[in-house]
Amino acid sequence: MPKDYNARFQEILTRLAPDKKKELYNRMRSLPASEREGFIKNFVTKYDSIKKAKDKGKLPQKKVPAKPHGMPVHKPGKDNAPHARSEHKPGNDVKPHAEDGHKPGAKKVRPEPSHQPSKTKPVQEKNAKQAKPPKQEKPKKERPAEEKPGKAEETDVPSRKSPLLSKIIVGVLIALLGAGAVFITAINNREDINKLLMTIKGEPAATEASATENEYKIAASLAVQTEGATEETESTAPSPTPTPIVVKEDAPDLTGLVIVIDPGHQAETDYTEESLFPDSTVGKPRCTSGAVGVDINTKEYEVTLEVALVTKAYLESCGASVILTREVNDINLSNQERAGIAVAASPDIYIRLHADSAPSSDVSGVIVYVPDSGSYVDTDKKLGEKIGTLLAEAQGTEYLGCFSTNAYTGLNYASSVKSVQVVMGFLSNSEDEARLNDDANTYEIAAAIAQFCSEL
């Protein structure tokens, strides 16, 4: 595919909402490798044509709903005319309680108390004799004489201002909530699919060493496999009371070795993003449930844990101290946190166990990934070749090679220790799936890992 389609596709991804990215990501994973290039090209072409039409104003506009019968209809060019009548003028502010009968802006005129002295008392008495006596009404409570006429009006002010003040407070709260939502959305939209979909096309992260071009393509396509994990970093102390297991007669002595094993994936997927590698804006889901078998629906997270538990027991029977990043499937542990467990333990080796799914069901065998940067780049490559060869021989399957990559968060954050990520087989292949469910095969994997650790 021309690079411009790929680059444009990545640019479009950065503008999509998280649910759209997830939907597109799942759609890409469901397609065979041969159809992904056409899908990306068609997607970009369709997206750009719609955007171009919209920019030129050729897309149908939403119809403005008709106004109810009897209401004035605004004509083009006269939208502002009705508002001219309500132009604000100083002194015309409508205050709350205008419904009381007071004219806006006018002060309440209150009658003077009848008992207050007046200089025109003789005149008032004369007029009172000529006027007819008013009808008797129920006496109203008068304010004390010492109360000033303007004081009552002052006490009304808080009640008049409270509705307006409430509206202002509500408006401010809504604005703050809106700003917070925008901020959270901006953080959550960091583009992980950008990196992963580029990897599907074989363009980014896997740097192959001493492998054929066909093997490189296999590794690049497999790099899209997301990893599982989230939650607080667990204790790095070895699990107490190792499960007894009968080891082979030629089993090595591993006394003094510290080994961390990470059973890949977990039961539940968490699409919350974490950075792919330190100081990166590219993100990936914190954890996924992994691949599913093609024949009997074998779950990758179950296979990796079963192999890890047997291997732990075997290695401990050889004298090693073994730490598992997880011992149950129902957990939420991110790839960064798994790497943190390994780094904190300062192990002699950090082994990540996986059983991937390939685009083609013909792919079968063992493949190994190692970090493409860090303290042990050269050493990791040699270790990867060694463990890959041993595991392939133990299972009687093909060794597909060792590849340096930055596609896996769990490796990128553990580059300060010796690290390897082993794909023991492919659940997309019927033979591999059956073999990974065989207890005897699991035992052989554990014995091969023990032999590998003895050669560190």
d(CA 236, CA 227) in angstroms, rounded, equals 21
Six-digit token string for 400: 């597909």
pLDDT recorded at residue 240: 41
Structure letter (DSSP) for residue 384: H
- For residues 3 and 198, the answer to whether their CB atoms sit within 8 Å is no
Tokens 């021989």 belong to which residue?
393
For 188-203, the pLDDT digits (tens) are 444 444 444 444 434 4
The answer on pLDDT for 44 being more than 50 is yes
The answer on pLDDT for 270 being more than 80 is yes
The DSSP-derived string for 204-261 is: SS-EESS--HHHHHHHHHHTT------SSPPP-SPPSSPPP-PPPTT----TT-EEEE
For 147-164, the pLDDT digits (tens) are 444 444 444 444 455 677
Segment holding 342, helix H or strand E? helix 335-345
More confident call, 19 vs 288? 288
What CA dihedral angle connects 352, 235, 323 and 344, to 10 degrees? 70
How far, rounded to the nearest angstrom, does the alpha carbon of residue 213 sit from its chain's CA centroid? 35
pLDDT recorded at residue 236: 40
How large is the average pLDDT for residues 158-172?
70
- For residues 275 and 239, the answer to whether their CB atoms sit within 8 Å is no
The answer on pLDDT for 5 being more than 80 is no
Six-digit token string for 313: 């027991």
How large is the average pLDDT for residues 303-326?
98
- For residues 331 and 234, the answer to whether their CB atoms sit within 8 Å is no
R_g (Cα) of the chain, nearest Å: 38
- For residues 453 and 348, the answer to whether their CB atoms sit within 8 Å is yes
Tell me the residue ranges of DSSP E strands in 308-418: 321-324, 349-356, 366-371, 399-405
Q: How far is CA 291 from CA 29, 227, 299, 335, 442, in A?
A: 11, 10, 6, 16, 18
pLDDT recorded at residue 148: 47
Q: In what order do the strands lie in the sheet with 419-426?
A: 207-208, 399-405, 366-371, 419-426, 349-356, 258-263, 321-324
- For residues 395 and 425, the answer to whether their CB atoms sit within 8 Å is yes
The answer on pLDDT for 170 being more than 50 is yes
Closest CA relative to residue 347, chosen from 424, 453, 241, 452: 453
pLDDT recorded at residue 90: 46
**Phi, psi (5° rounding) for residue 132?**
-70, 145
